[in-house]
Structure 1
C-alpha cells in the first residue's frame, strides 16, 4: 500500500500536450469554418454571375428595342410630314377648285376651259385624298407598333426590376444562412466538447488506478502492454477487463448524446520505431498498428457499441509522443489512443 502511494505521489500531470491538442482542435474548427465560408462565397459568386448574365441580356434587349423604337418614331415623323404636305396640297387644290367653280358660275367666256380645269383639279383632289388616306393608315399602323414596343420595353423593365429584387433577396438569404450555419457549427463543437469532457471524466474515474492508462490532451491513452502481448494484436485477459469498462462507458455515452450530433470514437494504433522481422503474422508496424486498432473496435462492437460510431486507424511508428530512442520513449510510443470527435 505504501508503495502504491509513493507511485501516485510521483505522478505528475503534463498540461502541455493537452494545450497543444486543444489548440489543434481549435485550429481545425477554424479551418472547417473557413472552408464553409469559402464554399458559400463560391456559391454566392456563381449565383451573382448567373444574375449578371440575365441582367446583361435584359439590358441588351432593352437597348435593341429602344433603338427600334427610335427608328419607328423617325419613320412616323416622316409620314406625319408627308401627310402634312398632302393636306396642304389638298387645301390648295380645294381652294383652286372653289375659285374655278366661281368663275364658271359667273358665266365668263372661258367657261369651257374653266370647267375642264375644274375637272382636272377634282381628279387631282381625289388622288391626293387617296394618298392622304393611305398615309393616315400607315401613321395609325406605326402608332400601334410604337405602342406595342413601349409595352415590351415596360415588360422587360418590370422583369429586370423583379430579377434585381430576387437577386437582393437571394444575397440576403445566403448571408443569413451563412451566419446561422456558423452559429450551428459553433454550438455543435461546444456540445461535443462538453460530452467529451464528461466521457473522459468517467473514464478517469473508472481507469485511474492504472499507471499505464492516462489522458493526454483530448485523447485517452492506453499503453500497448496493457492490452496486447509483444508483436500481437490479440487482446490479453487483463486488457479485456479494461476494454469492457471502456465499452460500458461508450454505451452510456451513446444514450446521452443527441442523434443530430454526428460523433465517432476514433481508435488509433501506434507502435515504436523498432522494425518487425517480417517473418511473423505482421510484416511491418503499419499492419500491427492497424490490426490492434481494429481489434479494439471489434471488441467494442461485440460489447454493444454501435459500429457507425467507431473508427479504426493505424499510424505505425510515424506519430511518436517522444522522439528520442530510449527504451522508455519507445514504451510510451507503443499505445492505443481514443479520441471522441466529429465524423
Structure 2
C-alpha cells in the first residue's frame, strides 16, 4: 500500500521538468522578442531620423510589438496561474501546454514578420535616399536657372532704363521741333497772307472796272456769265481777256513768292440750285461746276502758269452765296472763285 502511494507521487512529480522547460522556452521567446524590439528601435532610431512618414510607420509597428509583448506578459501570467492549477490538476496542465505551444508558434511567426518589416523599411529608406539625391540635383539646376533669369532681368532693366532715357530725350527734341515748326508755319502763313493781299490788290487794279468781278472774304469771285455761256464749260472771248490778265498777275506773283512757301491757287466752280435737264453734255450741276473749274485751270496753264500751283474743284449748287431763289440770287451763286492758299 505504501509502495503504491510512493509510485503515484513519483509519477506526479515527473511533470515538473516539462513545466520548467516550457517556462524556459517562454522566457527565451520573450527575451528574443525584447532583443528584437531593442534592436529594431536602435536601427530605426539611426536610420529613420527626420523621416516623419517612415517613423510613424515604425511607431505603428512598435505599438503592435508592444501589444504582442503585453499579450505575452498576459500569457505569462496565465501560464503561472496555469502552473499553479496544474499542480492541482494534471489534465488542465496538458491543455495549458498545448496552448503554450500555439502561443510559441504565433510568437515565432510574429518575430519573422517583424524581421520582414525591418527589411521593407530598409528598402524604403534606400529609395528615399535616392529620391532625396535626385531632388537635390533638381534644386541645384533650378537655382542655376533662377540665377540666369535674374541676370537676364537685370540686363532687360538696364536696357529699359536706357530706352526710357532715349525716349525722354526724343520727346524733348520732338517738342522743340514742334514749337519750331509751329513758329515756321506761322511765319509762312503770315508771308502767304501778305502775298495774298498783294495778289488781290493787283487783281483789283487790273479788274477794277468790272462790277461782276469782286472780292468776297479771302476769295476773288468771277460771275459765271463773265466766263461761260449758260450751261457750258467753254470760255467765251470776253472771259479769255479777263483770264489773260489773271494769268499775268499769277505769273508776276509766282516770281515774288519764295520757293519755300508751298502755295496753290484753288479754282472752285459753283452753280445755282436749278437742276440740269440731263439730256445735254452734263448730267448734273456737279459735273458742270467741275468742268468749268477745269477749263479755267487749263486756260491758265496755257498762259504759262505752273500747273503744280493750280487746283480745280467743283461744288455744284451746295455752297451758295445767297439762299434766295430770285434771278439775282441765282446769278450770284453761279460763279468761279479763286483762292490763294497753302497746299
Q: TM-score, normalised by structure 1?
A: 0.54
**Could you say which residue in structure 2 is the equivalent of 1:190?**
190
**Could you say which residue in structure 2 is the equivalent of 1:215?**
215
Quote the Cα distance in structure 2 between the aligned partners of 1:243 and 1:273.
Answer: 26
Superposed CA deviations along residues 152-206 of structure 1, whole A, max 9, x for unmatched, are 8986675455334323212211211221121122112111111111100100110
Matched, 1:258 2:258: yes
Quote the Cα distance in structure 2 between the aligned partners of 1:153 and 1:274.
Answer: 74
3-state DSSP of counterpart to 1:209: coil
**Could you say which residue in structure 1 is the equivalent of 2:271?**
271
Higher relative CO (CA 8 A, sep ≥ 6), structure 1 or 2?
Answer: 1
Change (3 A) 1:229 1:151: closer
Quote the Cα distance in structure 2 between the aligned partners of 1:280 and 1:157.
Answer: 73
**Could you say which residue in structure 1 is the equivalent of 2:316?**
316
The structure that has the greater radius of gyration is 2
Quote the Cα distance in structure 1 between the aligned partners of 2:274 and 2:157.
Answer: 77
Change (3 A) 1:152 1:232: closer
How many residues align? The count is 200
3-state DSSP of counterpart to 2:229: coil
**Could you say which residue in structure 2 is the equivalent of 1:172?**
172
> Which moves more between the two structures, 280-289 or 236-245?
280-289
Superposed CA deviations along residues 87-142 of structure 1, whole A, max 9, x for unmatched, are xxxxxxxxxxxxxxxxxxxxxxxxxxxxxxxxxxxxxxxxxxxxxxxxxxxxxxxx
Quote the Cα distance in structure 1 between the aligned partners of 2:210 and 2:312.
Answer: 24
Quote the Cα distance in structure 2 between the aligned partners of 1:149 and 1:316.
Answer: 69
Quote the Cα distance in structure 1 between the aligned partners of 2:165 and 2:284.
Answer: 64
- Where in structure 2 are there 5+ consecutive unaligned residues? 1-146
Give the aligned CA root-mean-square deviation in angstroms: 2.5
Matched, 1:204 2:212: no
3-state DSSP of counterpart to 1:341: strand
3-state DSSP of counterpart to 2:311: strand
**Could you say which residue in structure 2 is the equivalent of 1:325?**
325
Runs of 4+ with deviation above 4 angstroms:
147-161
Q: TM-score, normalised by structure 2?
A: 0.54
Quote the Cα distance in structure 2 between the aligned partners of 1:267 and 1:168.
Answer: 45
**Could you say which residue in structure 2 is the equivalent of 1:29?**
none
